[in-house]
Amino acid sequence: MPSNSRGDPAAASLSAYPFPPPLDHPVQMESSRKANPPLTVWIITMHNNVTREEFERCSQSVDKSCIPKRSYLKGETAWRYIISCLLPQMVMRKQHLPRRCWSFQKTKSVESSGKAYIAMKPESLKSESQFLGFSSAETGSAMAFAFTQGKKHQAVNIGVGIMSCHLKVSTESFFASQLHKLTEREERSVSLKTHPEDVALRRLLIILSIKDAYVRALGQPIGFDHSRIEVRIPRKTITVDGEQLLGWEFRLFKANLGVSKHVSPEDSQYQCATACFRGWNRTTFTFSQTQEELDEYVQFYDLQQIVEAVPRLGEYDNSALPPLSKLSLSTKTSMASMTSIGDVKHPAPPSYNYSHSLLPPHYAPNSLDYSDRFKKGPLPPMIAT
């Protein structure tokens, strides 16, 4: 925000809130109807049916900047981490952008190693699509990968959460292990004493997936206290330390992995949520329940399809990509068979236009000390610098 904005009515309105707008974020007036960047989610069916050669090929294709200096990941955990690192690279390849045109960057954070995102190099910039923000989460036989493109504040603040609907322990044991993440009001809303088991479990999975998506969108460390966040689905509100959270869009859907020889039928249902910072003067919740609604922004893949596409990544690092029909990566939905990306056109993710004045209380300026995030009040979005 310019230092001489004291006389600006819009700036004066914003000064009453804990955090001013983020870097390069213009104040949108009520008449603004600018579309928000589209959101896309990939759901990957995970399994261990890979050869040693495929494992090594995938690990060698991971960008060096994504490899931690000291890693204690082993076995399946390391394998899943490798796949999560390859997915952003596949997004850029799908857009015909060779490796020399972009680079991995990280946000600055004093609590963690930072939140990764992709920045286009100056000679490759396109209007309002200079950055790719992404987030991944995995559990059981599924991995969720969400991404969006846009300006810094629009791209970086994206998170995804996923919870398996199939419990490997008793319902009572699972609830007991998750109570520390809930507020007192949330505990009452999912109580097994006052609600049927299926209703209580459904509510709990929704709450946990929303919290996980929001925490990942902020790039917070694993030990973050989820009980600071309170989700009230009937009212479609979310508060942090008792203060209402504004400016975010949450999408919820249930992912069905469908029939797979690598996944048991009872392990095919997952509750998913995405959190994306939009900069509105409210927070919205969207429930995608029909196949048509899912097809707008959710795509399903099998791990083997990802593995087979990896050799193509390195071949075109220094040249333009071939037609998509030559890439072996293909898509599927839970109601359709395998088809090639080059042969099917997925509908563009929806863009939502809202005409609300922007009075954002939950931002972080470029100079914000990120230790402030653990103070009372809503958590500010990450700022890519």
| Residue given tokens 């959270």 in the structure block | 245
pLDDT in tens, 232-280: 988 999 999 999 999 999 999 999 987 666 677 777 899 999 999 988 8
Sign of the C-alpha dihedral, residues 65, 138, 61, 330?
negative
CA nearest neighbour of 31 among 357, 359, 352, 278:
357
**What pLDDT is attached to residue 72?**
64
φ, ψ of residue 16 to 5 degrees: the values are -80, -5
Residue 90 is encoded by which pair of tokens? 């596949």
**Angle, helix 52-61 to helix 303-315, in steps of 10 degrees:** 50
Q: Which residues pair with 149 in a beta bridge?
A: 132
**What pLDDT is attached to residue 198?**
94
Mean pLDDT by 10 residues, the chain (385 residues): 34 29 36 68 90 88 75 78 93 86 82 79 63 94 94 89 94 95 96 94 97 93 90 93 94 87 77 93 92 94 91 61 39 30 33 26 28 39 44
Q: Which residues contact 51 (CB under 8 A, 6 or more apart)?
A: none
Give this prediction's pTM: 0.73
Measure the CA–CA gap between 208 and 233, rounded to whole angstroms: 12
Cβ–Cβ < 8 Å for 152, 383:
yes
pLDDT in tens, 67-79: 766 566 677 888 8
Which residue type sits at 229? I
Domains identified in the chain and CATH numbers: 36-374 (3.90.470.20)
CA distances from 191 to 82, 162, 180, 195 (A): 38, 21, 14, 6
**What pLDDT is attached to residue 112?**
60
**What pLDDT is attached to residue 379?**
46
Query: Residue 102 in 3-state DSSP?
Result: strand
